[in-house]
Structure formats: structure tokens, C-alpha cells
Amino acid sequence: MKKPALILLAIVVVAVAVHFLCYHAATGDTRRMLKAEDNMAWLRMEFMLNDEQARSIAALEAEYEPRCAAMCERIAESNKRLEKLLATSKTMTPELEAALRDASQTQADCRAATMKQVFAISAHMAPEQAVRYRAMIAARVMPHALGHDTPVHH
């Protein structure tokens, strides 16, 4: 009775050890990138950037960061205003309509600025990597427009 239990225990121990070894090997690159001080690590690896490309793109990102932060602040303020009006309005008012338009326009402005930045970044990549980068980011920035997400209709 003890021998089958010991064999089963040994199999379980070996299976767990193999699982952790495989996991460690499969996620090594990702874990190294997440620990890296360099925020460009993922981009550099994913799009096979050389040092010059990475430096150019890092400079573009540093230049764009304040504009991005300001845009995020505008979106937050617009959304806050819209949420307040939605919570307090009993009917559709001109003020609520204006807030809806403003929230939509603010997000559209942000998407346009983001895509402008994406094109600027992709200009520093090899052509095939640039196409892939633009498609990847566009799918995240504009999923509805690209058919990646179906809006809900009531």
C-alpha cells in the first residue's frame, strides 16, 4: 500500500517541478523586460530595434509624454463632467448633449494625437515592423473603427 502512494507522490513532485521549469523558461524574456529599468525593452525586442532606433523612439516618447498627460487630464475632466450630468439629469438636456459631444471629441482628439505619435515612431522602424506596429496600436486605440469590437445597440 505504501509503494503506490510513494510512486504517486513522486509523479506529482516531478510534474510540479516540470511545470515550474517550463513556466520559468517560457516567461524568462517577459520577466526580464518587466524588471528592466529601460521602458523601451519590450518595444526594442518586439520590433527588433537597433540602438539608434531605440534612442530616436525614446526621444520621441519623452517629447510626447507631457502632451499625452495633458490629453489624459482633458479626458478625465470631460468624463467627470459627463458622469455628473448623467447622474443628475432626468431628461436629455442641451447641456448633457454638449457634454456628450465634448467627451466624444476629446477622445477623438486623443486618438488622433496618439496615431500621429504612432506614425512618428514607426518612421524609425524597418518598414515591415512599422506596418505591424501601426496595426497593433491602431487596433488598441481605435477598435470600433477597425471592426475589432462591436458596439452595443439598444
**What domains can you pick out in the chain, each with its CATH number?**
64-141 (1.20.120.1490)
Residue 34 pLDDT exceeds 70: no
On the 0-12 / 13-18 / 19+ scale of CB atoms within 10 A, 121 is buried
Separation CA 82–CA 67 (nearest Å): 22
The pLDDT tens digits of the residues spanning 4-15 come to: 777 766 676 666
Using CA atoms, how far residue 142 sits from 20, 32, 47, 120, 150, in Å, is: 38, 30, 21, 17, 12
Residue 67 pLDDT exceeds 70: yes
Report the pLDDT averaged over residues 53-73. 94
Phi, psi for residue 125 in degrees, rounded to 5: -110, 165
Q: Is the pTM of this model over 0.75?
A: no
The number of residues in the chain equals 154
On the 0-12 / 13-18 / 19+ scale of CB atoms within 10 A, 125 is buried
What pLDDT does residue 25 have? Answer: 59
Q: Concatenated DSSP letters for 24-70?
A: HHHTHHHHHHHH-S-TTHHHHHHTT--HHHHHHHHHHHHHHHHHHHH
